[in-house]
Amino acid sequence: MQHRSEQKINSKIFRHKKRIFKNTVRLLFQHSILLLTGQGILTGIYILLLIPLLSVFYRLALSVTGYSYVTISNIGNILIHPIVLLFLLLVFIVMGIALLLEACYLITFYTLIEDGEKPGLIKVLVLALKKLILIFLRRNLSLLPMVWLIIGISNIPLFLFAVKRVRVLSFISDNLMDFDFAIPVAVLITVGLVVLMIRRLFIFLYSLIEGKTYVKSKKLDNNNRRKTRDTADLIKPKDKGKVKRSINNNKSMEYSNNKSMEYSNNLKNIIFRTAVIGEEYLKRISFPRTFFYFIIWNIWIGLADLALYILTMAITALFITGIPDKSLAIATFLTINDKMNGYFFIGIFAINTLANFALYTHLFFQYKLEQNENVDIDHTVDTIFIQVGAYKTVIKVALILLACFNFYSFYDIVRNGSPLAYMNLDMIHVTSHRGFSAGVPENTLPAIERAIEEQADFVEVDVRMTKDGELVLLHDENLLRTTGVNKKIWQLNFLEVSHLDAGKWKDKAYTGTRIPTLREVFELCKGKVNLNLDLKYRNEGEGLEEKVAALIEEYEMQWQCVISSTSLTALEHIKELNPDIRTGYITYQIYRGYLTNENIDFFSVRSNLITKTVSSDIHKSGKEIHVWTVNNRSELERMKRLGVDNIITDDPSYAKEVLYQEASGRFFLTLAKIVLE
């Protein structure tokens, strides 16, 4: 049977043999809506599957290594732990399967266009899934590391973007740049990986387009032919004609129920043994030419990525012109810019992968055309059928339960947060002190609302308990400074406290502002901002820790809250109640013994106590550094150089403006300021 791929002269793609880039662009955009829709579906599936998996992996990694956080200083020790290595291998396999499905989808989509067919969305997705199944049926597992290499090299522009935007990669690159010849060595390594990728690329394409397996010619000459004959001998003489016709037409045989499994295995073995890539085709491929196409094409892709990024940031800068407060507008712009990085990683990955696989597929067809060879498209996937028999219902139920579990896990992460949020390898977090104490009454709902508006990552509040056991926000033990009433908070019931004015002392505009309960704070902040609860511990009999932990669990905010205190006893009690809650020790002196204390996840210290040695020691112990209270530029810049993890400040928008003034963000910060003027 002659397929459309053999009718070369009629193919629109092949009319201009030498216009590789033009034809690739045409291939990329010919059915772009369908292409992007399918890509969006696959991306959604990947996110639903991988984020819960990575969340479990992160918790496991911290649990087995005994660290509280992943930091730049301890990430190496975490990654070499045997159990972590095993789990990394699992993640590598799972993500590799996802990448293989991605490759199957794109190559199938482009192959159908090259073959003159319209790539229907459902058809392409089903064929891609069948191709993936066939890869494992043929035991062609070498494609798993191969797809990592190909897609990794296809996303070099994404890696360059990540080096400037992810703190751990920036840290590594900055340290490597200190060595002589670092840049030439990096270039040589990159070129070497590109060369390796191109040399394996057409084997990969051969496997997915024509369904063939690469076997060394010496194995084919004697061994493979003998095994093929031996396999054929297993089939009854009267059925050999059927098997032969089935192989020639790339279709599966229809077997009787009692013989189907035996014949299917024989047919699979014959297809696997005889479908071997012709080495002559691989030898005739022009490597320099392919290398040239790849480099030029990816330069254009990189420029397109950069243009898209600048355009998006420009639109964002125009958007913030509606915010009257200039400082708040800049903070909003910087926060949006920071949060957009994750979406850009996904977007740039999609653009780079889609564009490069269009080039790869077209080059495969083009080289076949130039060598006067037909593209023998593998149609085995059209008729592949997986027999599940009596297990069909069990498999369906298992898949439904797995899907429900993943949806629930992802929903829980979105709604209640995830331990991944604590893997701060990107930017320094900014905490707004006592809500927003710069211009609003501290520890009040208006102060917290203002902190959220100022784009704070965390809001720090002080928690105390009234006489009747209600959790409220108050820094001083005495109410005199903020309400004018000379009483201790534990001497009054909440009903009495609720009538006090906690705003007039700051500004008459806030007259009537009340002391809020912690429950009201949770209602306001859930899903909007993280909280740092500073427990003002008095004694063990008060029960402050139990009530706070219970309220956190009630609102399922253990991944949105951290607890800090000057009392190690309080932190130990919190860990007994809920080990998942992150705890921080507020101290003026860090002793060696504290670094190994399992009840301390981070240290909260005055900024002038932090030195390079202190920072290094804390990070090596797997704990974070929170510093207070930093409001001036010079100290903010010093904390940034020392690599602290969280800065507590009275003015979060100004702190973010200073912290974001780095090489990769200065252009956009300047752009925002120009737009606002």
User: Which of these, 168, 203, 190, lies nearest to 75 by C-alpha position?
Assistant: 168
Instruction: Copy the structure tokens of residue 463.
Output: 């928690």
User: Which of these, 527, 554, 582, lies nearest to 413 by C-alpha position?
Assistant: 527
Residue 619 annotated among the catalytic residues of the structure: no
Q: Which residues contact 5 (CB under 8 A, 6 or more apart)?
A: 11, 114, 115, 116, 365, 374, 375, 377
For the purposes of burial, counting CB atoms within 10 Å of the CB of 391, is it exposed (0-12), middle (13-18) or buried (19 or more)?
exposed
Which member of 31, 362, 429, 433 is catalytic?
433
d(CA 137, CA 597): 51
Residue 379 annotated among the catalytic residues of the structure: no
Q: Are 447 and 189 in contact (CB under 8 A)?
A: no
**CA distance to 473, 493, 663, per residue, from 667 (Å):** 40, 54, 8
d(CA 20, CA 478): 77
d(CA 54, CA 57): 5
**Rama region for 115: left / alpha / beta (φ>0; ψ in -120 to 50; rest):** alpha
Q: Which residues contact 149 (CB under 8 A, 6 or more apart)?
A: 193, 196, 197, 200
DSSP 517: B
| Cβ-defined contacts of 51-54 (< 8 Å, 24+) | 51/409, 51/410, 51/413, 51/418, 51/420, 52/406, 52/409, 52/410, 52/413, 53/91, 53/94, 54/91, 54/420
Handedness of CA 322, 323, 325, 329 (dihedral sign): negative
* Ordered DSSP codes for 251-280: -PPP--TTTHHHHHHHHHHHHHHH-B--HH
- For residue 324, give the 3-state DSSP assignment: coil
Which member of 3, 81, 379, 475 is catalytic?
475
| Residues taking part in catalysis | 433, 475
